[in-house]
A = this chain, B = another copy of it.
Amino acid sequence: MTSWLPTLKTATPEEGYDLAVKLARVAVKLTQPDAGQRDRMRPEYAENAEALIAVSQVVATHFATVAAANDYWWDAT
């Protein structure tokens, strides 16, 4: 079985940011495993300014971790 998170290493900062977005979303899936329920809630996320900012905060926290794991991509860039 393939892991959804085999490593925190990414080639570039942009890929690191994408990984942070993914890390933010997985916690939602683990708490609400029902895809139908998540779809039903999607407008609450995407059409509500406060919810969008809150998602952005979670991404920021994960991005800090991913950036540290990649030594801020000092070698890559």
Contact across chains for A61 and B57 when beta carbons are under 8 A apart: yes
A59 partner, pick from B4, B6, B27, B68, beta carbons under 8 A: B27
Main secondary structure of the interface of A (DSSP, over half): helix
Evaluate whether A60 and B14 lie within 8 angstroms (CB atoms) in the complex, with A44-B49, A49-B45, A49-B51 already known. no
Residues of B within 8 A of A23 (CB): 17, 60, 63
Contact status A65-B63, CB under 8 Å: yes
Contact A9 B77 (CB under 8 A): yes
Residues of A at the B interface (CB closer than 8 Å) are 3-9, 12-14, 17, 21, 23-28, 30-32, 34, 37, 41, 44-65, 67-69, 72-74, 77
